[in-house]
Amino acid sequence: MGQIYDITPFTLLDYPDELACIVWISGCNLRCVYCHNPDIVLNRGTKDDADVLSFLQSRRGRLTAVVFSGGEATFYPGLPDLVRKAKAMGFKIKLDTNGSNPQMLRDLVLSRDLDRVALDYKCPPGLREKLLGTPKFEKEFSESLDFLIEQSQAGHIGLEIRTTAARPLLSESELGEIIKDLDRRGYRGTFWLQNIASTGEKTLGNIPDELWTIDKNSLPKPENFTLGFRNFPAESHRTSGQDRE
């Protein structure tokens, strides 16, 4: 058994403006209650690096990018070599990460093998144990966040920051804390608030199947970046204080 859980052969959603595949790395150091990939988090994979490279070789000229996701891909020791080899084949490389392994992240970015990073800003520090299963890694996340903003501002990587914003896991006030923190750190770009992708037994915390909404008007207006919404029911992010439509 390897640490590569699986390969999604084609996606138009996970790398903007690119024809990409997704390489799923098994295992994660967090246990987010809303995680919709519990099998990837809790189990080992059935593939290895050779399987990934063979697949990518067969897709040269057909795909333009590779997304490395998980789980948490930066805790896979073989990731830098796999990324380097995929990059050498001519693919653009995107990494999805929770930012809790800043040294690996720094090495990957400074090698210039990464083209884009999607960083999950999970929650304010006080909610980490409740939502993520551990209060740890706040220092590491903060280091990763500042480094990625710096590298993005210098033009070395594309950067997307996102938060799973389903209520009642996070209130508008708590989302506001994140927005203000990103402004303080000088983030530019789009901060995506995204609804949970799955509910019930498909999530680690058995999140109930509800129609989640968000009061867009109660959120602070970012000074330096754009606020975007993903996967919410139509118009639900334009409600005026009601929890549900």
Is residue 142 pLDDT above 80, yes or no?
yes
Q: Are 239 and 214 in contact (CB under 8 A)?
A: yes
Q: Find the domain containing 45 and state its range.
A: 4-160+188-193
In this prediction, residue 107 carries a pLDDT of 97
Supply the pTM of this predicted model: 0.91
The pLDDT tens digits of the residues spanning 30-78 come to 998 888 888 999 988 889 999 999 999 999 999 999 999 999 999 999 9
42 belongs to a structural domain: yes
200 belongs to a structural domain: no
In this prediction, residue 215 carries a pLDDT of 85
- E strands of the chain, at which residues? 4-11, 20-25, 65-70, 92-97, 116-120, 158-164, 190-194, 226-230
167 belongs to a structural domain: no
237 belongs to a structural domain: no
202 belongs to a structural domain: no
Q: For residues 149-155, give the mean pLDDT.
A: 98
In this prediction, residue 35 carries a pLDDT of 87
Domain count, the chain: 1
110 belongs to a structural domain: yes
152 belongs to a structural domain: yes
Q: Domain with 138 in it: what CATH number?
A: 3.20.20.70
214 belongs to a structural domain: no
Residues 6+ positions from 46 with CB-CB distance below 8 Å: 1, 2, 4, 5, 6
Split at pLDDT 50, 70, 90, the class of 232 is: confident
